[in-house]
Amino acid sequence: MSYSKKRYLTYGLITIFVMVLPFIKINGNHMLLLSFEKLEFHFLGFSYNVNELFIMPFLLMLLFIGIFAITTMFGRVWCGWACPQTIFRVIYRDLIEGTLLDLRRIKNKQKDIDYSKRKNQIKKYIGLLLWFGITLIIASNFMWYFVPPEDFFAYLQDPLNHSFMIMFVLSIALFLVYDIVFMKENFCMYVCPYSRIQSVLYDDNTKQVVYDTNRGGNIYQNGEKSILNMKQWSANEECTTCEACVKVCPTHIDIRKGLQVECINCLECSDACETVMGKLGKENLIQWGSTNKVINKKFVSIFSKRNIAYFASLILCIVFAISMATQKEYFIVNINKTTQLYNIKSSEHIANNYVFTIQNRLDKEYTFDIDVQDKENFEVVRVKPFKLKPNQRVKKVVIVQTKKRMFISDKKDTPLKLKIDIKTLENNEYTMTREVSFIYPRNDLIK
């Protein structure tokens, strides 16, 4: 199977996965969702509140270290085989313009379309309409990772109250029309930062698209093309100078010149060369392999010191992410003190007021109670046990007061550390302890 067919198959699998993933739920939670509206993050069927995003740094570290590791080992495999920009360009250039509208030859991406013909102009606008319809689906799919599909389709039925979401979807769709139709591969060459950092991550052991100069011969000398046709070759060079690898390149480069930032590892040049060399009964001159393996004929192991360091870092990130994921809290508690430092009710009763925001993260209704640990000196007043349904959130004003007179300081107010338990009455295992600051006034203020 050619690299092109393998890529198309990969594109199809990635597209199906990305489109279906927002609809998959485990225990009522999405596989991947970051909801700004509900302040929730769903990952692999687990739901985390915005206050529980301690798992996020490790996931981001895993993402970036993984990108660096993949690039150093396999080159820009992401760009050619999984990047949305590349997939979208293939859909528009090869499927719409090439297959459906017959505006260009798929095997010659260098030749521009002649829009001076009226027939081609009409096809161009048909292609734009088809692509705009696809971009609306793409933009909607992107939104499903921030607005769950069930809410998204409900919001579409009430556009006046959800105009921002609709405008956001339209903006993404219009950007994709401009990017894919007009910017084309210039986005990869001049905008995408990934192409710029690849030169730092590459070495002679990195897998990349390599033209075998040992067999094919040197087409370029000092960056300038020195061989123009077969007549200039000696008897040993195998390259036919047919330029098939150049014509098929979507980023308009000649891979025989060596590694270039424009190369996205799509390997279409390799397929083109294999077709030509196969007819001559010879092996492909363009391979996906490291410089050491293809040119220098050295053994390349994936377990180099650098790669082992990457593997160790990735394993550590996974371990920490799993560790943090298991520390999911059963309910969320935020405590804020009111603007009034304290309330002197009597010489024995000094009160501090707090605002508790409690959210039940359990899968059924529970009865919650709030109490202090130091029952000898403090008590919670005017708060009775209350029930919360799953994901229900409530705010409670909690008054904590002293039970006896304390002689602490004659000069200034004193902050005391006080531990408060928030627990469910049905299950003692669901208990959370929070430490608050209790402000006690100086002695001369207490009569």
Distance set, CA 289 to CA 63, 79, 140, 188, 295 (Å) = 24, 16, 38, 22, 9
The lowest-confidence range among 184-193, 237-246, 318-327, 381-390 is 318-327
Contacts of 185 (CB under 8 A, 6+ apart): 89, 250, 251, 252, 262
What's the pLDDT band for 229 if we cut at 50, 70, 90? low
Instruction: Tell me what the mean pLDDT of segment 298-308 comes to.
Output: 79
- Express each pLDDT in 88-135 by its tens digit: 998 998 888 888 887 777 666 667 777 677 887 888 888 899 999 999
Q: What pTM does this model have?
A: 0.72
- Express each pLDDT in 17-56 by its tens digit: 999 999 998 878 888 888 887 777 888 777 776 666 667 7
Q: What is the pLDDT of residue 99?
A: 84
Terminal CA-CA length for the chain: 91
Give Cα 379 to chain centroid, integer Å. Answer: 48
Start-end of CATH 2.60.40.10 domains in the chain: 331-445
Q: What is the pLDDT of residue 231?
A: 54
Question: What span, in angstroms and rounded, lies between the C-alpha atoms of 404 and 388?
Answer: 33
- Express each pLDDT in 325-346 by its tens digit: 666 667 888 889 888 888 888 8
Instruction: Tell me what the mean pLDDT of segment 245-251 comes to.
Output: 85
- Domain 331-445 superfamily per CATH: Immunoglobulins (2.60.40.10)
Q: Which residue has the tokens 């590892």?
A: 265
- More confident position, 204 or 386: 386
400 touches 354 (CB < 8 A): yes
Question: What span, in angstroms and rounded, lies between the C-alpha atoms of 431 and 433?
Answer: 7
Question: What span, in angstroms and rounded, lies between the C-alpha atoms of 157 and 214?
Answer: 64
Q: Which residue has the tokens 């105009």?
A: 163
CB atoms within 10 A of CB 385: 12
Mean pLDDT score across all residues of the chain: 84
